[in-house]
């Protein structure tokens, strides 16, 4: 977006009072205010305002499902007019700010307090930046060789490149947090050691263990997990298998399912089907992503649950049970129950992609007193992100079960504010 | 179709749309092309002792992503020789005898020079002479343009010089850069002018380059103030036209300043102009705008059941008066159409901070649209919310309560005098 184009798009914003776009932003960005600053060509102020609420504004400008969040709430839609392209405007500001160099994050005087952040994904980095802003010393550990978490390793390439996600973390690191990549907590350094060296610990480790189908034939060659597939494509490693010319069935209803289905179409799969055991209404995937997948020819098979993977050594098909919707479950969504009278259906395919969600790595947290993991997620106080162990806070996918980057950022920042409050009250 | 023919100060023209004295009338080729496309008249680029123009010359003011809300110009009068100009005027008039062709003249206060210029201009066969007493930039420093038009005595005297020597109608072009244009209009009338045209451009600086600290337009590393024109100046021009129409000068008026559409033209005519002159809109869009100017005005006259342009002239003037004559008992309040409201809430801070705190905003606890409502007790009927509301016809003003007998400030004062 050229400077002039951005300024003109910014002038379309009517600068709402109590703007719905801001209310729709999980990070609470004052959208109308940052856009007005583009209009006045105060890009420096605009970037400052964005970073104050969302340190990963550059990532979010690329990966946020804005049609379902800020732009989807734009009042211009009610006028029958194209909503403000908030994502592109934010990207315009952040590209300018990153090209300029220093993110100009103002730092409070040093408090002498030290916080450790485990996980250099969006939640951890957002937490680290906010803590630095408030004058605390921060050390971030990440087990992988490159920082950025799922921003680097899992987000579909059509949204953001891994190099970009890494460069954003490195850019933000100039505010002074220490980053130890390739350092696995529990192996290279223990939580006990971290507890001794820090006043608080933030856990932003994401999700580790992919959920399994728990059906016959799951061990056949051709059954793969979605995330390693996406990660391999992103960071340039070898794909676990060839998708070109293959018939692919993706199981799941979330954004990882739509991402991997899109990836399969990009890599030349001959036929891509997303099979989901509930209906579209219960799908956690964003509508815009689902529409994009459908536009690219991805087929949807709703109300079908996997029963059996068919094949002899190699996947040849998938047997699915037709389902119907029953009473709501704990998540508030209607529970799928087998449609008794219906015969199972068989879908011929060569590849089955599991995009069923993941759980947090229990082994990692096992030794920490008070941390409770329920259904694969760390339990925290929803106001503060504090775990049952008062020194430990958590946020991001390991708490919310896998949501957008912007949610992880909001939770990382929420914990940083609470940690800051706690440390100041102790002083 | 209504007849668009007009007569202004004895000069007939096929329609009231004339090109103002400016870059579009710089050469015979331009003017003839304009006449071919349907323009009714043209006032030639001002003739004076030839000058040298600078580069660059124009600066624009954009608004909301639209170009040229306003423009200013530091170009001076013609920079071609007078002989060439006179030859071309002669040729244009010979080929377009039925179109109004006016020579615009400018000189310092030198009687012989003015008379010489006027005589040579008359020899071209043009229809009238327009005395440029309005140019606000470059020329006043040489004792010309607004330097004359800002002083009633100079205006009267120089008009007199030319009028006494000339055969043709004399038009005086007035500057808006005065405290009250009525004084200048009356002085021109006393000097014998046959018609008045206004406004000339408004003295202006359109902006400053924040990187180089140089005002615009830039000539090397400097600038100079210019003359402002375009849509932004229309309200100023409308006021000044109406002011002159009621000044007692009793002369036909040519309305100039920000006319871009037939609607603008109709407004000038309603406030007392007989014809309008156009420049910036042509500099922006070209001569081709004449088609809709004529078509639109003609349709409008038909809709109003008026046979010609003259029947529209001055029709708004009886409805314009002094503030003290306004009805203090007339009261409107804002009314929000909740069906149309998109919940942007922009009326709320506007009324709270810049109005009379008469709009209440309530956030929807469910996270839906903000709801705004008018507190009619507090609403003074200022219009602000209806002016800023982005949705057409969402906030309208309606009369509040039964209408009381009219009562003006003039009456209030009269009653006070009586009771004293």
Instruction: Specify the range with the lowest mean pLDDT, choosing from A345-354, B209-218, B264-273, B400-409.
Output: B400-409
Q: Is the pLDDT of residue A91 over 80?
A: yes
Determine the average pLDDT of the residues in B136-163.
93
pLDDT band at residue B312 under the 50/70/90 scheme: very high
Mean pLDDT of chain B: 95
Instruction: Specify the range with the lowest mean pLDDT, choosing from A293-307, A363-377, B144-158.
Output: A363-377
Inter-chain CB proximity A16 and B345 less than 8 Å:
yes
pLDDT digits (tens, 9 = 90+) for A196-246: 999 999 999 999 878 888 999 999 999 999 988 888 887 777 777 888 999
Say what the ipTM of the complex is.
Answer: 0.83
Determine the average pLDDT of the residues in B256-261.
98
Determine the average pLDDT of the residues in A291-315.
95
Instruction: Evaluate the omega torsion of the peptide bond into residue B265 and state whether it is cis, within 30 degrees of 0.
Output: no
Mapped onto helix, strand or coil, the DSSP state of residue A314 is strand
pLDDT value at residue B70: 97
pLDDT value at residue A353: 96
**Model pTM score:** 0.84
pLDDT value at residue B91: 98
Inter-chain CB proximity B346 and A12 less than 8 Å:
no
Contacts of B131 (CB under 8 A, 6+ apart): B104, B105, B106, B158, B159, B162, B170, B171, B172, B173, B193
CB pairs under 8 A between A and B: 42
pLDDT digits (tens, 9 = 90+) for B339-377: 999 999 999 999 999 999 999 999 887 777 889 999 999
Determine the average pLDDT of the residues in B105-122.
96
CB B115 within 8 A of CB B107: no
pLDDT value at residue A302: 95
pLDDT value at residue A179: 97
**Partner-chain residue, chosen from B65, B343, B391, that has the shortest CB–CB distance to A20:** B343
Determine the average pLDDT of the residues in A31-43.
95
pLDDT value at residue B260: 97
Contacts of B38 (CB under 8 A, 6+ apart): B15, B290, B291, B294
**Partner-chain residue, chosen from A12, A17, A78, that has the shortest CB–CB distance to B346:** A17
pLDDT digits (tens, 9 = 90+) for B57-90: 999 999 887 899 999 999 999 999 999 999 999 9
pLDDT value at residue B294: 97
Interface of B with A (CB under 8 A): 64-65, 342-346, 348-349, 361, 363, 367, 369-370, 390-391
A-chain residues within 8 Å CB-CB of B370? 16-18, 20
Residue of A nearest to B365 (CA): A23
pLDDT value at residue B138: 86
Determine the average pLDDT of the residues in B387-403.
94
Inter-chain CB proximity B344 and A11 less than 8 Å:
no
Determine the average pLDDT of the residues in A326-352.
90
Inter-chain CB proximity B344 and A17 less than 8 Å:
yes
Inter-chain CB proximity A75 and B342 less than 8 Å:
yes
Higher-confidence residue: A369 or B192? B192
Contacts for B160-167 with beta carbons within 8 Å, 24 or more apart?
B160/B191, B160/B192, B161/B111, B161/B114, B161/B115, B162/B105, B162/B114, B162/B115, B162/B118, B162/B129, B162/B131, B163/B191, B163/B192, B163/B193, B164/B192, B165/B115, B165/B118, B165/B119, B166/B118, B166/B122, B166/B129, B167/B122
pLDDT digits (tens, 9 = 90+) for B9-37: 999 999 999 999 999 999 999 999 999 99
Q: Is the pLDDT of residue A344 over 80?
A: yes
pLDDT band at residue B258 under the 50/70/90 scheme: very high
B-chain residues within 8 Å CB-CB of A18? 345, 361, 363, 370
Inter-chain CB proximity A17 and B348 less than 8 Å:
yes
Largest CA distance in chain A: 69
Active site residues of B: 135
pLDDT digits (tens, 9 = 90+) for B224-235: 999 999 999 999
pLDDT value at residue A229: 86
pLDDT value at residue A361: 85
Share of chain A above pLDDT 70, in %: 100
Instruction: Evaluate the omega torsion of the peptide bond into residue B56 and state whether it is cis, within 30 degrees of 0.
Output: yes
Q: Is the pLDDT of residue B399 over 80?
A: yes
**A79 CB within 8 Å of a chain B CB:** yes
Determine the average pLDDT of the residues in A385-395.
97
pLDDT value at residue A427: 80
């Amino acid at each position: 977006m050229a400077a002039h184009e951005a300024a003109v798009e910014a002038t379309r914003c009517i600068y709402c009072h109590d703007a719905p776009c801001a209310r729709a932003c999980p990070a609470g960005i004052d959208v109308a205010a940052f856009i007005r600053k583009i209009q006045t060509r105060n890009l420096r102020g605009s970037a400052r305002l964005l970073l104050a609420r969302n340190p990963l504004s550059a990532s979010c400008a690329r990966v946020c499902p804005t049609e379902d969040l800020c732009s989807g709430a734009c009042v211009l839609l009610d006028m029958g007019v194209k909503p403000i392209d908030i994502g592109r405007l934010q990207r315009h500001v952040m590209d300018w700010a990153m090209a300029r160099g220093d993110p100009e994050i103002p730092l409070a005087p040093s408090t002498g307090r030290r916080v450790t952040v485990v996980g250099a994904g969006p939640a951890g980095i957002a937490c680290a930046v906010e803590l630095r802003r408030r004058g605390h010393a921060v050390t971030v550990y990440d087990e992988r060789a490159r920082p950025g978490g799922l921003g680097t390793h899992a987000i579909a390439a059509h949204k953001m490149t891994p190099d970009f996600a890494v460069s954003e973390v490195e850019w933000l690191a100039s505010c002074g947090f220490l980053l130890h990549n390739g350092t696995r907590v529990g192996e290279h350094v223990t939580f006990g050691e971290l507890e001794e060296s820090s006043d608080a610990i933030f856990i932003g480790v994401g999700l580790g263990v992919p959920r399994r189908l728990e059906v016959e034939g799951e061990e056949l060659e051709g059954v793969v997990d979605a995330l390693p597939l996406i990660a391999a494509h992103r960071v340039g490693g070898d794909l676990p298998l060839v998708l070109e010319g293959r018939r692919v069935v993706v199981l799941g209803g979330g954004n990882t399912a739509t991402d991997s289905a899109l990836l399969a179409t990009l890599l030349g799969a001959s036929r891509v089907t997303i099979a989901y055991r509930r209906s579209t209404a219960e799908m956690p995937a964003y509508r815009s992503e689902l529409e994009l997948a459908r536009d690219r020819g991805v087929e949807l098979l709703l109300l079908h649950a996997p029963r059996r993977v068919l094949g002899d050594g190699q996947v040849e098909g998938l047997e699915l049970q037709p389902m119907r919707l029953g009473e709501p479950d704990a998540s508030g969504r209607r529970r799928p129950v087998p449609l008794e009278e219906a015969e199972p259906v068989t879908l011929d395919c060569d590849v089955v992609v599991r995009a069923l969600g993941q759980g947090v790595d229990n082994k990692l947290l096992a030794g920490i007193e008070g941390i409770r993991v329920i259904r694969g997620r760390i339990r925290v106080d929803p106001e503060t992100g504090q775990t049952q162990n008062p020194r430990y806070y958590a946020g991001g996918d390991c708490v919310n079960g896998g949501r957008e980057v912007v949610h992880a950022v909001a939770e990382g920042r929420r914990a940083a504010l609470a940690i800051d409050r706690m440390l100041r009250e102790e002083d | 179709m209504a007849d668009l023919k007009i007569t202004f100060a004895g000069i007939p023209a096929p329609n009231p749309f004339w090109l103002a004295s400016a870059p579009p009338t710089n050469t015979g080729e331009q003017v003839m092309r304009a006449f071919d496309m349907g323009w009714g008249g043209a006032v030639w680029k001002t003739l004076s002792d030839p000058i040298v123009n600078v580069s660059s010359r124009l600066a624009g003011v954009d608004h909301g992503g639209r170009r040229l809300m306003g423009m200013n110009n530091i170009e001076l009068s013609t920079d071609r020789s007078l002989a060439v100009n006179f030859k071309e005027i002669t040729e244009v008039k010979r080929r377009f005898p039925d179109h109004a062709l006016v020579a615009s003249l400018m000189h310092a206060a030198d009687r012989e020079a003015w008379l010489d210029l006027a005589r040579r201009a008359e020899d071209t066969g043009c229809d009238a002479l327009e005395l440029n007493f309005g140019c606000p930039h470059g020329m006043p420093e040489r004792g010309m343009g607004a330097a004359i038009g800002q002083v009633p005595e100079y205006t009267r005297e120089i008009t007199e010089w030319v009028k006494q020597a000339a055969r043709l109608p004399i038009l005086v072009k007035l500057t808006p850069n005065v405290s009250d244009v009525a004084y200048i209009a009356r002085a021109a009338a006393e000097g014998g002018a046959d018609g008045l045209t206004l406004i000339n451009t408004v003295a202006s600086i359109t902006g400053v380059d924040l990187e180089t600290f140089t005002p615009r337009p830039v000539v090397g590393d400097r600038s100079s103030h210019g003359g402002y024109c375009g849509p932004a100046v229309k309200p100023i021009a409308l006021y000044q036209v109406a002011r002159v129409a009621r000044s007692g000068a009793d002369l036909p008026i040519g309305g100039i300043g920000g006319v871009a559409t037939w609607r603008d033209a109709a407004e000038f005519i309603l406030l007392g102009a007989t014809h309008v002159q156009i420049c910036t809109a042509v500099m922006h869009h070209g001569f081709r705008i004449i088609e809709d100017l004529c078509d639109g005005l003609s349709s409008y006259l038909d809709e109003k059941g008026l046979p010609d342009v003259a029947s529209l002239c001055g029709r708004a003037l009886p409805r314009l008066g002094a503030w003290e004559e306004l009805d203090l008992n007339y009261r409107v309040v804002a009314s929000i159409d909740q069906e149309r409201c998109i919940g942007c809430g922009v009326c709320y801070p506007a009324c709270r901070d810049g109005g009379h705190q008469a709009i209440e905003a309530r956030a929807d606890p469910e996270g839906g649209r903000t709801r705004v409502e008018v507190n009619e007790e507090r609403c003074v009927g200022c219009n602000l919310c209806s002016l800023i509301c982005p949705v057409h016809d969402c906030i309208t003003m309606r009369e509040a309560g039964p209408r009381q007998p009219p009562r003006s400030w003039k009456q209030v004062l009269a009653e006070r005098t009586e009771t004293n």
